Structure 1
């Protein structure tokens, strides 16, 4: 499945728009990560535990969005966006959404004389 944050994919024509697809996950912070994050706030630096958590969450949201698109018969999702929100104390949602489409490969024109 092709994924793009643009409105089209070069070299392909959109033959059908199937509609909005989305995938989300809600994750809670780990107490151990909170302790380490508090220490990092004092000395500075990347919060690697949170970076990993966010990367895993984004991938899970994308996977769920792609699965929904497959069920609709799509072979691509365009105009993909991410959104985050706090659900409860210590828990956040990551949402991936886009437009499910069916793409056709464009056939380049054959040069004259061939």
Structure 2
């Protein structure tokens, strides 16, 4: 599956637009991570536990978007975007979306 954040795929022609492919995941913080993050907040620096959580969440949202595109019969997903929103305190959604297309 070709995934691109541009509107086209170099050296390929889009022959059909199949619709929007999307994938998301909602994750909550972990109390153990929160305690460690609170300590990090005092001394400063990257909170690696949250960085890892966000990276895993983005990857899962991207994988789900690709599965949705495959379900639509797509060869590629163009104009891919990622967005994050807070669902409730300590809980956020990562959404990956783009246009599923057929290529020539």
TM-score band w.r.t. shorter chain: over 0.9
Give the TM-score of the pair, scaled to structure 1: 0.89
Q: After superposition, where does 1:35-114 map in structure 2 within 5 Å?
A: 35-104=35-104
Partner residue of 2:25? 25
**Structure 2 CA distance, aligned partners of 1:81 and 1:57?**
14
Structure 1 runs of 4+ with >4 Å offset = none
User: 1:53 offset after TM fit, Å?
Assistant: 0.3
Alignment size in residue pairs: 104
User: 1:9 offset after TM fit, Å?
Assistant: 1.0
**Structure 2 CA distance, aligned partners of 1:33 and 1:85?**
20
User: 1:88 offset after TM fit, Å?
Assistant: 1.3
For residue 45 of structure 2, give the secondary structure of its aligned residue in structure 1. Answer: coil
Instruction: Point out where structure 1 has 5 or more consecutive residues left out of the alignment.
Output: 105-114
- What is the root-mean-square deviation in Å for CA atoms of aligned residues? 0.7
Partner residue of 1:11? 11
User: 1:103 offset after TM fit, Å?
Assistant: 1.2
Partner residue of 1:34? 34
